[in-house]
Copies of this chain bind each other. A is one copy, B any other.
Amino acid sequence: MISKKMTKMVANSSAIRAMFEEGNRLAKEYGRENVFDFSLGNPSTPAPIEVNDGIIDAVSNLDSMTLHGYNNSNAGFEDVRDAIAKSLNKRFDTYFEARNILMTVGAAGGLNVALKSILDPEDEVIVFAPYFGEYKNYVENYDGVLVTVPPCPGNGFVPSLEEFEKLITPKTKAIIINNPNNPTGVILNAEFIKNLCAILRGFEARFEHEIYLISDEPYRELAYEEVEVPYLTKYYANTIVGYSFSKSLSIPGERIGYLVIPDEVKDYDELFNACVVATRILGFVNAPTLLQQVVKRSLEAKTDLEFYDRNRLTLYEGLESLGFDVIKPQGAFYLFMKAPIADEKEFVANAKKYNILIVPGSSFGAPGYVRIAYCVAFETIKNSMEAWKKLAADYNL
């Protein structure tokens, strides 16, 4: 007899995960090389050398009780937070110190900590469709209400600020943006961010309370053709940045990331302390300590962007030449494609007949489209082209 709330959440549970588990089943049946599993955002390049070197270095040089013990603060090691602050300052011309950094169990853990800290029941959180489907669960964990700005396929999925503005109410407590975007690969530029922040500031003044801008940035380092990803604390005071090393260091299983809570946030002390307490009482307690020390040692490491870029261009060009209607991604490692029929779930089911695993756009609030995660081996993309060709033929493309 599980709880009623959980029964609902299980029923709506992740189509992405279900597809990924289906992929593992098919791989056992047909052999891994004959299954084209584009379902999950699981990085497919090894962690850069700094990661395993950092593990060995930390284990060899740090005292066991320091390395593996509880942190002095639930916010994490002071030296790690200090190193991250300095690294951000160097890259983005910011002025963070250790006190602005809170180590988290990945970005997912960080978002939960932030939302628990700020949401009262029925508070509204606005997201722009298509959006990462887990946001709905994260918001509902704290009895908040997810409000969705409809997708703008006509504008290459850059969201409409007019539609956004119509949805802001006195109950709006936060906005989540995801830049670069999962699932579209769109990168919101500085002009868009400036306009967004001007709107938010207007409503903050009108309602006389803060509206938090939560920036979910696991894909920050995956921006192609040197497109700039604006750093949001420079545009808006009440910003909380959630970062993860999952994609940048290819370590999603290790669960390590951080929140940035800048001094400019209203009542910084209160908010930071609430997030520290939330880290503790949600059961995270602190981000895994060894991995904190590892990311400190890997702040200069880079993932293999060229690897993903080759996948991106090969898949994009391949699908386009087959007649599919594809959005060219600027960042992340997903490609968003229009299904050739209105019911994209039927299209996804049909693709599975050719051992192609993709995720329906309705999981991201954008039905009629599908997400193709191209963080796979290059061979998977090359070898999948025959299967895509057969799939295209089914729809007379």
Chain A interface residues toward B at CB < 8 A: 1-7, 9-10, 13-14, 17, 20-21, 24, 40, 42-44, 46-47, 51-52, 55-56, 59, 63-65, 67-74, 105-106, 108-113, 116-120, 123, 134, 137-138, 141-142, 209-210, 250-256, 266-267, 270-271, 273-274, 277-278, 280-291
- Complex-state Cα separation, A251 to B142, whole angstroms: 30
CA distance A42 to B123 in the complex (A): 38
CB of A119 within 8 A of CB of B283, answer: no
A135 CB, min distance to chain B CBs, angstroms: 10
Q: How many copies does the complex hold?
A: 2
* Cβ distance A59 to chain B, nearest Cβ, rounded Å: 5
B42 pairs with A64, CB closer than 8 A: no
Compute how far the CA of A256 lies from the CA of B9 in the bound complex, rounded to whole angstroms: 25
| Chain B contacts for A71, CB-based, 8 A | 253
Shortest A20–chain B CB gap in Å is 7
Please, how many angstroms separate the alpha-carbon atoms of A123 and B5 in the complex? 13
Chain B residues with CB under 8 Å of A210's CB are 1
CB distance from A389 to the nearest CB of B (A): 28
Question: Which residues from B are CB-within-8-Å of A7?
Answer: 274
B68 touches A137 (CB 8 A): no
Whole-angstrom distance between the Cβ of A103 and the nearest chain B Cβ:
11
Among the interface residues A21, A42, A59, A255, which one has the most CB atoms of the partner chain B within 10 A? A255
> Judging by beta carbons under 8 Å apart, are A270 and B2 in contact?
yes
Q: Identify which of B74, B137, B288 contacts A17 (C-beta below 8 A).
A: B74
* Interface CB pairs A-B, < 8 A, 5: A1-B267, A3-B123, A10-B274, A70-B253, A137-B281
In the complex, what distance in Å separates the CA atom of A4 from the CA atom of B44?
A: 43
Bound Cα distance from A235 to B143, whole angstroms: 37
Contact assessment for B9 and A277 in the assembled complex, using a CB-CB cutoff below 8 Å: yes
